[in-house]
Amino acid sequence: MEVLGIDIGGSGIKGAVVDTAAGVLTRERLRIPTPRPAVPEAVARVVREIAGYFSWTGPMGVTFPGVVADGVVKTAANVDASWIGVKGADLFGERAVVLNDADAAGVAEMTFGAGRDRRGVVLMLTFGTGIGSALFVDGTLVPNTEFGHIEIRGKDAERRASDRVREEKDLSWKKWAGRVEEYLGRMRDLLSPSLIVIGGGVSRKADKFLPYVDLGGTEVVPAVLRNEAGIIGAAMAAARSARLP
């Protein structure tokens, strides 16, 4: 089944038509810079533009970089606070399913990527503007975990170890990897996952920093679907909610 997936990120809003049974994009994705300020109406205009570009009127999944419970936005750490309380279906239309960005990426990665067929506790962490998390137990998602906000050295973890911090502070890969390792070590101590999957845009450059990350016996691997995981996971969520394959 083909479903439109849209991934709202800090710098770009990306959309594509997805074959949700195969986990692949059937048409090349369209990326439009995230409007500034990224207020709901401005973002909704871009989402409509993407849907229009693909001549889309069917179900669509949309990711959001905050907690989304029962289709309602509850937090907005890295986007405008006016998002809090917004109901996804009111903003994007009745056929839209809205979910947390890391949860979407995690669902795609568990089905078609690095977490496929993995049982037990698997943790997906996305490193971008913030740090997103998706926790799975025998393949089932525990939604809205928000582990990017645990405290490390008196600070929100994502203020120390997100990819944005690496860029802003011009940290070397090795130095940043040290921060990531400390953070992952904490997550390992809290959750004892058998696998940690590293996602987000920076997963493309895993060879630059993962060699410096050693968690002893805990396996740490880069995401396979890279930047497309959010789009694919969003489309999968919409397909599920519309009861499509």
Q: List contacts with ligand BGC (CB under 6 A).
A: 65-67, 75, 77-78, 100-102, 126, 128, 130, 132, 146, 148, 158
70 versus 117: smaller Cβ distance to ligand BGC: 70
86 versus 102: smaller Cβ distance to ligand BGC: 102
77 versus 202: smaller Cβ distance to ligand BGC: 77
3-state secondary structure of 229: helix
- What gap in Å lies between CA 189 and CA 193, rounded to an integer? 9
3-state secondary structure of 37: coil
23 versus 199: smaller Cβ distance to ligand BGC: 199
Q: How far is the CB of 1 from ligand BGC (least distance, A)?
A: 26
Q: Evaluate whether 105 touches 134 at the Cβ level (below 8 Å).
A: yes
**Cis previous bond, 37, omega within 30:** yes
36 versus 243: smaller Cβ distance to ligand BGC: 36
Q: How far is the CB of 160 from ligand BGC (least distance, A)?
A: 13
3-state secondary structure of 57: coil
22 versus 69: smaller Cβ distance to ligand BGC: 69
Amino acid at 27: R
| Stretch (H or E) spanning 211 | none
Q: Of all residues in this chain, which one has the CB nearest to ligand BGC in the complex?
A: 130
- What gap in Å lies between CA 238 and CA 96, rounded to an integer? 7
DSSP 8-state assignment for residue 59: -
Q: How far is the CB of 49 from ligand BGC (least distance, A)?
A: 22
- What gap in Å lies between CA 72 and CA 52, rounded to an integer? 24
Q: How far is the CB of 229 from ligand BGC (least distance, A)?
A: 12
Q: How far is the CB of 170 from ligand BGC (least distance, A)?
A: 21
- What gap in Å lies between CA 161 and CA 182, rounded to an integer? 9
* Burial category of 65 from C-beta neighbours within 10 Å (exposed 0-12, middle 13-18, buried 19 and up): buried
Q: How far is the CB of 149 from ligand BGC (least distance, A)?
A: 6
